[in-house]
Amino acid sequence: MSGRTDWQDLRSRRMAEFGAAEAYDAARLAFELGRRVRELRVQQGLSQTELARRAGMTQPAVARFEAGGTVPTLPVLERLARSLGAELTVQLAPSSSVV
């Protein structure tokens, strides 16, 4: 393939780099949290601006969070949950893989 690397090879090499798995997990968590907040906001017919006002945030901060661009602190998650009429639940559970 004329010296080109396909996506799977590139991904495998990058994931083998130091800290890559942790960064991937953090990105996945940010995406999942943002997706859930967006789902709740849309279900309630709220705009990002209205959610931001209720949570004491800016609309761009809500947009970044919903896009998975940032992992908020627990106090920010609590404010978002309260603003959405939801309960924040943080849980540590046994993992299926041993570290």
Q: What are the pLDDT digits (tens) for 85-98?
A: 999 998 898 988 75
pTM over 0.85: no
> Which whole number is the average pLDDT over 2-17?
80
What pLDDT sits at residue 46?
98
Provide the CATH number for the domain around residue 42.
1.10.260.40
Among positive and negative, which fits the CA dihedral 13, 69, 75, 80? negative
- Whether pLDDT at 99 is above 80: no
Contact 65, 37 (CB under 8 A): yes
For the stretch 18-56, pLDDT in tens is 888 888 888 999 999 999 999 999 999 999 999 999 999
Classify residue 58: in a domain, yes or no.
yes
Q: Which of 63, 73, 74 is nearest to 34 (CA)?
A: 63
Count of domains for the chain: 1
CA dihedral 67, 70, 23, 91 (to 10 degrees): -100
Mean of pLDDT over the chain: 90
Domain membership of residue 6 (yes or no) is no
Residue type, 28: R
Cα distance between residue 97 and residue 64, in whole Å: 31
d(CA 92, CA 88): 14
Residue 94 lies in a domain: no
Summarize the confidence of residues 6-27 as an average pLDDT. 86
Structural domain of 76: 18-83
Structure tokens at 55: 């949570």
